């Protein structure tokens, strides 16, 4: 209750965009990048009138995708009488930023952001009321939350379903749909679009290949009738091409962190993106203390946001800066570096990294340098993506990141998966004669986007007042209420279950409320590196999807 209607949001958004373009126009003639962004926005608004269904928006990173896709969604909702927009982002780390962008445009009361971290595992009547219902006109949530809700056995998640009917759903970075769940996800998308009045917008710089496919032993129905909003994605890519990609002659021999650290030290301002949290820490330790910055999901949301702001100030001031980060900067973070180094990874990850380089087109061309890291990506999907990226780059195409390169890359990726696109046999469990609501619990159990469940820890990071309130509630035997849970969201780090168990066994964390674990030992949170887990991790969970 108490939320503005979509029509009201539409008015606010137009006013915001008019002010924004007036401000850019006042600075003199439009740069090619800003001209391209204005054109993307115009096409989004114009094509929102098209009949509801499935749409794609192929815009290179830095093309103003976030606001343009929102413009499309608001206009589409208004013209077709849809009451809600659900904006699905791939990582928890970019929920905050996306929601902040939307609040700036639409006002604080228009947006609900919904993470997965602090949902009470054991539902109680109080916590059920506190669960997010997705009842605001604009909901920003993660892929994990969204897809798990659709396959959920839990009431709080299932109750969201009625709020999905007749809504407009934007899937940001659609290429991050997890390959092993692609069949059930695409199946549910078709069902929602055909029978529940839902329009989908697949938003990505690198369109995944989701059309129908057959081979002798499997059939991928895919998504038919997806309409592209951009008239000429190839031309738009060429206009927005702002980087030169430097690929090593030899993509099979790794460099050492020491050699890489020396190369980084020669740059004035550089971002280096690696595949694992422990890689980030290792490389960070080798860099000069005065200019180094570390970013990973072992830092809580508040810490990451503050660090990113600090990085922006340093870049704007033209001071030396050497940032080492995991993939979390590859989506939604609008940093702009003259040079970016990227550990070999999937072609889509390389393109995302390139989107953090010369973003505003201020220089003729930025430099993106691919390197082979000391250790390959973790086994599984990430390793497969890395191998696919290597194969694609070894073909030495004149423009390795052109749109047509991605088609081939994703086709190879999905084709290799074949029947594994429904690795957990979920489709067999979902009987189409049944209502969407009655999906079976076994399907819900099997549909866990992040295997080896990630568990949240509330860390100590300039949040004494909140922790004091949480502690006082514990003393009185009161559950933390919805507001407190929401405020704590910014101070959460998720870790794999085995790390969680080790921290608990060592007394570093304690369970203050059912499912709410809090960092006890103040030394366990490092002001630069975030939560100390003190043992190597198997993978960076954010890579998978969270």
Residue 165 lies in a domain: yes
Higher pLDDT, 52 or 329: 52
Are residues 489 and 357 located together in one domain of the fold? no
Shared-domain flag, residues 141 and 257: no
Q: Give the pLDDT confidence of 213-237 residue by residue, as tens digits.
A: 555 555 556 777 889 999 998 889 8
Q: Does residue 407 sit within a domain?
A: no
Q: Tell me the two tokens of residue 1.
A: 């209750």
Same domain, 278 and 374: yes
User: Are 223 and 251 in a shared domain?
Assistant: no
- The predicted structure's pLDDT at residue 173: 84
Is residue 316 domain-resident? yes
Task: Name residue 88's beta-bridge partners.
Answer: 141, 171
The arithmetic mean of pLDDT across residues 390-394, rounded, is 95
- Do 34 and 85 share a domain, yes or no? yes
State which of 204, 232, 260 marks the end of a domain: 232
How many Cα atoms occupy the beta-carbon half-sphere of 189 within 13 Å? 28
Q: Which two tokens stand for residue 211?
A: 């059309």
CATH assignment at residue 153: 3.40.50.300
Q: What is the pLDDT of residue 364?
A: 84
Domain membership flag for residue 424: no
Same domain, 226 and 276: no
Average pLDDT of span 44-72: 92
Angle of helix 32-47 relative to helix 6-25, nearest 10 degrees, comes to: 160
Rounded-to-integer distance, Cα 475 and Cα 478, Å: 8
Shared domain for 188 and 58, answered yes or no, is: yes
Asked if residue 419 belongs to a domain, the reply is no
In a domain, 428, yes or no: no
Band the pLDDT of 359: cuts 50, 70, 90: confident
Q: Is residue 48 located within the same domain as residue 28?
A: yes
> Is 169 among the domain residues?
yes
Domain-terminating residue out of 190, 213, 232: 232
Domain count, the chain: 3
- 327 and 268 within one domain: yes
pLDDT recorded at residue 380: 75
What's the domain range around 460?
454-544
Is residue 403 in some structural domain?
Answer: no
171 and 138 assigned to the same domain = yes
Q: What is the mean pLDDT of the chain?
A: 83
| Pair 327, 306 in one domain | yes
Are residues 256 and 375 part of one domain?
yes
Neighbours of 186 (CB within 10 A): 18
Query: C-alpha angle with apex 202: 199 to 208, nearest 5 degrees?
Result: 140
Task: Kindly report whether the global pTM for this prediction surpasses the value 0.75.
Answer: yes
Find residue 357's DSSP bridge partners.
Answer: 337
* pLDDT of 543 strictly over 70: no
Q: What pLDDT does residue 157 have?
A: 54
Which pLDDT band, with edges at 50, 70 and 90, does 422 fall under? low
Q: Which of 179, 210, 232 lies at the terminal end of a domain, its last residue?
A: 232
pLDDT tens, 89-133?
A: 887 767 877 888 898 999 888 887 776 555 544 444 443 333 456
- Please give the average per-residue pLDDT across 284-305, as a whole number: 94
pLDDT of 434 over the 70 cut: no
């Amino acid at each position: 209750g108490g939320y503005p209607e979509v029509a009201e949001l539409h008015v606010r958004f137009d006013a915001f965009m008019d002010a924004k373009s007036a401000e850019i126009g006042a600075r003199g003639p439009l740069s090619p990048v800003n001209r391209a962004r204005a054109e993307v926005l115009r096409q989004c608004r114009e094509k929102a009138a098209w009949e509801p269904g499935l749409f794609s928006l192929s815009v290179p990173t830095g093309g103003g995708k976030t606001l343009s896709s929102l413009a499309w969604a608001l206009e589409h909702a208004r013209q077709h009488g849809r009451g809600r927009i659900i904006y699905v982002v791939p990582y928890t780390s970019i929920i905050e930023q996306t929601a902040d962008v939307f609040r700036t445009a639409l006002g604080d009361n228009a947006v609900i952001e919904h993470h997965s971290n602090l949902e009470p595992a054991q539902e109680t009547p109080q916590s059920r009321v506190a669960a997010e219902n997705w009842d605001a006109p604009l909901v920003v949530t993660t892929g994990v939350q969204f897809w798990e809700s659709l396959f959920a056995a839990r009431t709080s998640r299932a109750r969201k379903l009625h709020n999905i009917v007749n809504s407009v759903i934007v899937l940001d970075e659609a290429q991050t749909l997890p390959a092993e769940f692609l069949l059930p996800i695409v199946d549910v998308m078709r069902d929602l679009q055909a029978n529940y009045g839902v329009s989908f917008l697949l938003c990505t710089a690198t369109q995944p290949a989701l059309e129908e496919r057959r081979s002798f032993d499997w059939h991928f129905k895919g998504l038919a009738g997806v309409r592209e909003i951009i008239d000429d994605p190839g031309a738009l890519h060429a206009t927005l091409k702002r980087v030169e990609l430097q690929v090593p002659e030899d993509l099979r021999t790794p460099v050492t962190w020491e050699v890489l650290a020396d190369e980084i030290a020669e740059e004035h301002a550089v971002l280096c993106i690696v595949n694992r949290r422990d890689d980030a820490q290792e490389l960070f330790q080798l860099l000069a203390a005065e200019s180094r910055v570390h970013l990973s999901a072992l830092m809580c949301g508040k810490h990451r946001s503050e660090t990113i702001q600090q990085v922006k100030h340093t870049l704007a001031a033209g001071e030396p800066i050497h940032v080492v980060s995991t993939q979390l900067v590859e989506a939604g973070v609008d940093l702009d570096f003259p040079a970016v180094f990227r550990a070999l990874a999937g072609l889509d990850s390389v393109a995302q990294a390139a989107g953090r380089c010369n973003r505003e087109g201020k220089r003729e061309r930025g430099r993106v340098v691919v390197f082979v890291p000391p250790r390959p990506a973790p086994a599984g999907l990430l390793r497969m993506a890395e191998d696919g990226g290597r194969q694609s780059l070894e073909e030495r195409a004149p423009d390795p990141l052109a749109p047509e390169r991605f088609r081939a890359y994703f086709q190879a990726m999905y084709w290799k998966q074949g029947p594994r696109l429904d690795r957990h046999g979920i489709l067999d469990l979902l009987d189409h004669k049944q209502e969407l609501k009655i999906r079976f619990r076994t399907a819900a159990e099997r549909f866990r986007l992040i295997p080896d469940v990630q568990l949240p820890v509330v860390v100590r990071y300039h949040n004494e007042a909140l922790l004091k309130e949480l502690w006082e509630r514990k003393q009185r035997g009161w559950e933390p209420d919805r507001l407190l849970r929401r405020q704590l969201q910014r101070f959460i780090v998720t870790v794999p279950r085995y790390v969680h168990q080790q921290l608990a066994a060592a007394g570093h964390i304690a369970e203050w409320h059912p499912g709410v674990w809090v960092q006890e030992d103040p030394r366990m949170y490092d002001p630069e590196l975030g939560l100390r887990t003190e043992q190597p991790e198997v993978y960076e969970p954010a890579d998978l999807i969270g």
